[in-house]
Amino acid sequence: MTNESLKQAAEIFCVKISQKKYAEATLRNYHQRIHSLLRYCDSEGLESFNYEEAEIYSQWLDERVGQGEIKDKYAGFLRGFALAFADFNSIPVEAQDAYIFVPHTTFVSSKNTLKEDSRKIINEFSDYLDQIYAPDSIRGFLLISSPLLHYFDDNDIPLSKVTPQTIRDYFIFIAPNRPNSMDNVVFGVRVFLRFLSEHEYINWYPEMVAFRMPPSRKKVPVAYSDSEIRTIIENIDISNPTGKRDYAIIVMSLLTGLRSIDIRNLKLSDIDWEKDRIHIVQHKTNRELIIPLLPTVGNAVADYILNARPKSSEPYVFLSHGRGAIGEPMGPGTIINRMRIYLNESGIKDGGNDGRDFHALRKTFATNLLVSGTPLESVASALGDAGVQAAKPYLALDDEKLRLCCPEKMAHPCRKEGLYG
């Protein structure tokens, strides 16, 4: 039987998760993970669960993956959840009321375990970010700055003693744990240093940290061909409610460039049927966006609303059709997973990392605009981006105009060189 104190901690932890207002399906997944974790603790006779136990649990999960008992992806979910629970248990009981649940996709010590002065700093930093960035960006900056403050705490370095060399030492310290994302760490730390400088916690400028990552290779974005789009759409059964919803969502993304998160959050009141336009505030950039409601998109959405949308008091256009959740808001992964099903059924998706996913519809939208001769600035505006930089990668997909940039081969004759030249 599970230790009572551990069981009680798990119950409080679940309450904290529920306060995040996740979709019902997400909450069910989290509850299943805590039950799985408690069964493990019971089998091992554990009376507590901290970072050390979480590491042992992680090794146990790896063994199960190696034996083919569970999938690696599922083990990753359980591992991240265990680290979050260990993080929660590391906080004094009297301070658990202020705990904030942060999903651990990769382990980063949360702000809950910082010393009091550092917690004060990161709360001020959070307020500072709130005036500038969108929620997802804010969370990313906090996940980067928290380990830095832990580094200061662990090495007894007050902010008044932080120097550019201190930051360079931290980059060297953290680099082995962030082999593929150090450029994000460097950028995030600089934003944090800018905050410290503006609020006079440090008396030097972040530009004094001369630390640059080598340039990363840029991937050419993937766009769907006309034949691939036709194949995807042909695989959607629009004779049933789920198919009508999925068809409307895919057509909307293809012809407007909207992200999946913005389509999922689209409300009935965001569509102006009289003026044929959609008016939203983008989730990622927090920027206002007004786009035309094209006839194909409008007809598909109207067909769904009138003939397939479940009766519900929810304000969202697109709702869940899943068993036990009909008429509720869609879960975060619903749109992406549905697209993956159509890609697999149509045989278009070659592999897990081939770039063919729902977001490629947005890339296809941008590419089609460029190929039709739309200026880059207008493409960026249609995508809702702040500048042309975000739209520049799509230039690589315009084959015809790229050919114009290539010089004639005969204008640069070759000659043999080397041992036998």
Alpha carbons 9 and 189: distance in angstroms, whole number: 33
Q: H or E stretch including 281?
A: strand 277-281
Amino acid at 76: G
What CATH topology corresponds to 226-404?
hpI Integrase; Chain A (1.10.443)
Considering the entire predicted model, what is its pTM?
0.55
Residue-level pLDDT at 300: 96
Which CATH class name applies to 108-213?
mainly alpha
Query: How many CB atoms lie under 10 A from the CB of residue 70?
Result: 13
Alpha carbons 159 and 201: distance in angstroms, whole number: 6
The Cα angle at residue 331 between residues 96 and 295, in degrees rounded to 5? 145
Residue-level pLDDT at 421: 45
What tokens appear for 193 in the block? 């240093």
What tokens appear for 2 in the block? 């599970």
Would you kindly state where each structural domain of the chain is located, as residue ranges?
A: 1-102, 108-213, 226-404
Residue-level pLDDT at 87: 78
Residue-level pLDDT at 295: 95
Residue-level pLDDT at 19: 78
Alpha carbons 13 and 25: distance in angstroms, whole number: 17
Task: Flag residues of the chain having pLDDT under 50.
Answer: 1, 105-109, 419, 421
Residue-level pLDDT at 214: 56
Residues 6 or more apart whose Cβ sits within 8 Å of residue 190: 206, 209
Residue-level pLDDT at 107: 41
Residue-level pLDDT at 297: 96
Residue-level pLDDT at 353: 65
Q: Strand pairing of 277-281 and 271-272?
A: antiparallel
Alpha carbons 216 and 183: distance in angstroms, whole number: 9
